[in-house]
A and B are shown apart, each in its own frame.
Chain A
Amino acid sequence: MLQTNLCGIKLKNPTILASGILGVTKESIDRIGKSGAGAVTLKSLCHEERLGNQNPAMFGYDDVFLNAVGLPGQGIDSAMKDFVRLDNLSVPVVGSIYGYRIEHFGEVAKKMASLKPAMIEVDISCPHLDYGKPYYADPNLTAEVTKIVKKNSGKIPVSIKLSPNVYDIKEIAHAAERAGADAITAINTASGMVIDIDARKPILANRIGGVSGPALKPIAVRCVYEIYETVKIPIIGTGGVTYGKDAIEMIMAGATGIGIGTGIFYRGIGVFKKVCGEMGQWMKKNKVKNLDEIRGAAHK
Chain B
Amino acid sequence: MTENDCCGGCRTEIPKMLEVSDVINEGKGQTSFFFRQKIECRPGQFIMVWLPGVDEKPMAVSYYNKNEFAFTSQAIGKFTNALEKIKKGGKLGIRGPYGNSFSIQKNACIVAGGVGLSSVSTLIDALKNPLVIYGARTKEHLIYLKRYKNKNMLITTDDGSFGRKGFTTDVLEEVLKNKKNKINIVQTCGPEIMMKKIFDLCQKYKVECEASLERMMKCGFGVCGACMVNDKIACMDGPVFNSRQLNKLPEFGNFSRLKSGRKVTLKEYHSIHN
- Spell out A's residues near B (CB within 8 Å): 21-25, 27-28, 30-31, 43, 49-52, 54-64, 69, 72-75, 78, 82, 194, 196, 198-199, 201, 203, 205, 213-214, 217, 240, 242-246, 262, 264-269, 274, 278, 281-282
Smallest CB–CB gap between B198 and chain A, Å? 25
Of A58, A201, A267, the residue contacting B224 (CB under 8 A) is A58
Q: How far is the CA of A21 from the CA of B221 in the complex (A)?
A: 12
A-B contact count (CB 8 A): 158
B40 within 8 A of A: no
Smallest CB–CB gap between B213 and chain A, Å? 15
Smallest CB–CB gap between A260 and chain B, Å? 12
**Nearest opposing residue in chain A for B230, CB measure:** A27
- Establish whether residues B8 and A31, one from each chain, have CB atoms under 8 Å apart when the complex forms: no
A55 with B2, Cβ < 8 A, contacts A61-B12, A242-B8 known: no
B219 within 8 A of A: yes
- Spell out B's residues near A (CB within 8 Å): 1-2, 4-5, 7-15, 17, 48, 50, 52-57, 91, 93, 95, 218-219, 221-226, 228, 230-231, 233, 257-263
**Nearest opposing residue in chain B for A246, CB measure:** B8
Q: How far is the CA of A69 from the CA of B261 in the complex (A)?
A: 12
Q: How far is the CA of A31 from the CA of B230 in the complex (A)?
A: 10
Q: How far is the CA of A265 from the CA of B218 in the complex (A)?
A: 14
Q: How far is the CA of A172 from the CA of B8 in the complex (A)?
A: 30
Q: How far is the CA of A78 from the CA of B261 in the complex (A)?
A: 10
A74 with B9, Cβ < 8 A, contacts A28-B228, A56-B50 known: no
A78 with B12, Cβ < 8 A, contacts A22-B224, A58-B218 known: no
Q: Which 8 pairs show the lowest CB-CB distances between chains A and B?
A: A214-B8, A55-B56, A198-B17, A74-B262, A24-B225, A22-B225, A27-B231, A63-B9
Query: Which residue, A51, A55, A196, A282, has most C-beta atoms of chain B within 10 A?
Result: A55
Smallest CB–CB gap between A86 and chain B, Å? 16
- Establish whether residues B8 and A196, one from each chain, have CB atoms under 8 Å apart when the complex forms: no
A264 with B223, Cβ < 8 A, contacts A199-B52, A278-B1, A278-B2 known: yes
Q: How far is the CA of A55 from the CA of B10 in the complex (A)?
A: 23
Q: Which residues of A contact B218 (CB under 8 A)?
A: 55, 57-58, 69
| Sample (29) of A-B pairs whose CB atoms are under 8 Å apart | A22-B223, A22-B225, A22-B233, A28-B231, A31-B231, A51-B259, A54-B54, A54-B56, A55-B56, A56-B48, A58-B223, A59-B14, A60-B12, A62-B9, A63-B7, A69-B224, A72-B226, A74-B261, A74-B262, A196-B15, A198-B17, A199-B17, A203-B50, A205-B56, A213-B8, A243-B4, A264-B222, A266-B9, A268-B222
Q: Which residues of B contact A52 (CB under 8 A)?
A: 259-260
Query: Which residue, B8, B91, B218, B233, has most C-beta atoms of chain A within 10 A?
Result: B8
Q: Which residues of A contact B262 (CB under 8 A)?
A: 49, 74-75, 78, 82
Of B9, B54, B57, the residue contacting A60 (CB under 8 A) is B9
Smallest CB–CB gap between B31 and chain A, Å? 20
Q: How far is the CA of A43 from the CA of B260 in the complex (A)?
A: 11
**Nearest opposing residue in chain B for A66, CB measure:** B14
